[in-house]
């Protein structure tokens, strides 16, 4: 009976981690969608790292015995946190598309 209880607890913890992972993924993607402008890749990478640090701290508080080591946290972060990438073009490209400098009828 103790094995079944441990198995249920393990499944519940995995489910909570999955829920946290989905929430964290959505949060990171929203942050990237707004801040992913050219020359901002270092800030996006720093954001991803800080989220992983905070998440590791939270996961470590779930148990008095074990803490999440960085090898495991790297696997979790790689699974759930998207890698940062630039999503928006340079301003002059964006501006040129919306407001061409030439007039076709002139």
> In a 10 Å sphere around its CB, with 0-12 CB exposed, 13-18 middle and 19+ buried, how is residue 36 labelled?
middle
Residue carrying the six token digits 């940062």: 84
**Cβ 84 vs Cβ 47: under 8 Å:** yes
pLDDT in tens, 32-68: 988 888 989 999 999 999 999 999 998 888 877 778 8
Domains in the chain: boundaries? 18-98
Contacts of 2 (CB under 8 A, 6+ apart): none
User: Which residue from 26, 25, 6, 2 is spatially nearest to 76, judged by alpha carbons?
Assistant: 25
- pTM score: 0.68
């Amino acid at each position: 009976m103790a094995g079944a209880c441990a198995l249920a607890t393990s499944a519940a913890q995995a489910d909570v981690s999955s829920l946290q992972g989905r929430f964290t993924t959505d949060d990171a993607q929203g942050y990237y969608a707004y801040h992913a402008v050219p020359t901002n890749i270092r800030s996006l990478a720093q954001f991803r790292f800080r989220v992983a640090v905070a998440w590791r701290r939270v996961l470590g508080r779930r148990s008095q015995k074990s803490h999440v080591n960085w090898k495991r946290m790297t696997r979790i972060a790689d699974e759930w946190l998207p890698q940062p990438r630039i999503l928006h073009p340079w301003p002059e490209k964006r501006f040129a598309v919306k407001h061409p400098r030439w007039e076709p009828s002139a």
